[in-house]
Amino acid sequence: MGSAKTSAGCAPGRGQSEDASRRAGRRLRAALGAAAAVAALAMCLGVGRGTGWGAAEIPPPTPAQAEASPPGPFRVEATAAYLLDATTGQELQAQDAGRPLDPASLVKMMTLRLVYRDLAQGRATLEDRVPVSVKAWRTGGSRMFIDPRQKVRLEDLILGVAVSSGNDACVALAEYLAGSEEAFVAEMNREAERLGLSGTRFCNSHGISEPGQQMTARDAAVLGARLVTDYPESLAALSAREFTYNGITQPNRNRLLFIDPTVDGIKTGHTEAAGYNLVATARRDSMRLVAVVMGAPSEAVREEAAARLLDYGFRNFTTQVLARPGEALGRVAVYKGRRNWVEVTPARLLAVTLPRGQEGAARWTLKLRGALVAPVAAGQEVGELLALVDQQVVARAPAAAASAVARGNWLKVAWDSIRLFFRGALGRGTLAASGGG
């Protein structure tokens, strides 16, 4: 009897089947091992975690609300006007705002700024007894009525400038803090340059009209905003309704202080050459605005114009704070360190101004400069935080490490050197994480 023969396409024998199964198993185990190695390498390099550079715990973007547009620009009865969000620096309304004009007593905002700066730096105290020179006593215009035979408390001189608009008080402060009014004015101009007030030039400390002394409405708004935000303690004097010195009581010439309880500064000004000027600030809820009116025909008109600007701003806009200093934005990878990550925080407030109806439309984006390698110092700038509205950058703030990370041991340094090599080979870019407000 003949045996049956196995032809092509028929089932193989038992031994052949077992050999094929073993070969398939080896191939499967090799494939699984390779996949595990790739996954491990990806974990080491941070691939697939966060949104790049190993970021984690980053909140998702806040979706934009329905769009709304505020009313268009309008004019007030003045030569120039300006409206500014003091928190964000956003321009909300402008009328010939870049035109250099006679500032009159708006000059005193810079005088007060330098006084508060010296107080903050410990170069003077509110209890200092300030001598009064004959020059200060003889200074004309609005006065506090100081006497050269009597020293004056520095705090009283501040109130004499802020409330009584005393030109004599300005000269006394300038001479006390800088040695002479001329030296003080030179510092006023240097400070204006530091603040970017390109349309401003000071010739004296008080604002009596002089050829060449000038300020734009935009510069006046920035100076006023920086005075009350950098030195919020100044608001106590700027909002005082009256001041009594040497038996003489004088009211604050900013009559908005008596009309609107949200108004708490800043300064009026008037000369025949300048007309009627006013820098007014108000805070409603979490929003602070600064309105400037220059060259109005009367006190009543400048106050009505400033009130109109403020009401327009509060009615049509809102301030959205995206990130505050000290607030943790998320973790980013640190290489060659004792820790593998560090929290990132904004170095200063990041906020934007939005039309009402678009609350929540802004989001932030964090971009690192490159791989963060230990040692890392607390507060070290590691990148930039961008505020975006409709994909347009509208504000920026430095991003800083929230804490220090020391350098790791030799093994950690060697291992992370390998990780950085592979990261470079893979063409990894900088972090582009984002979050809502």
Which residues carry out catalysis?
105, 108, 165
Phi, psi (5° rounding) for residue 190? -65, -40
What 3 state SS string does the chain have?
A: CCCCCCCCCCCCCHHHHHHHHHHHHHHHHHHHHHHHHHHHHHHHHCCCCECECCCECCCCCCCCCCCCCCCCCCCCCCCEEEEEECCCCCEEEEECCCCCECCHHHHHHHHHHHHHHHHHCCCCCCCCEECCCHHHHHCCCCCCCCCCCCCEEHHHHHHHHHCCCCHHHHHHHHHHHHCCHHHHHHHHHHHHHHCCCCCCECCCCCCCCCCCCEECHHHHHHHHHHHHHHCHHHHHHHCCCEEEECCEEEECCCCHHHHCCCEEEEEEEEECCCEEEEEEEEEECCEEEEEEEEEECCHHHHHHHHHHHHHHHHHHEEEEEEECCCCCCEEEEEECECCCEEEEEECCCEEEEEECCCCCCCEEEEEECCCEECCECCCCEEEEEEEEECCEEEEEEEEEECCCECECCHHHHHHHHHHHHHHHHCCCCCCEEEEEC
Return d(Cα 144, Cα 421) in angstroms, integer: 71
Q: Which two tokens stand for residue 356?
A: 């009402």
Return d(Cα 156, Cα 119) in angstroms, integer: 14
CB-based contacts of 315, cutoff 8 Å, min separation 6: 356
Phi, psi (5° rounding) for residue 332? -125, 155
Among 19, 25, 207, smallest CA distance to 105 is for: 207
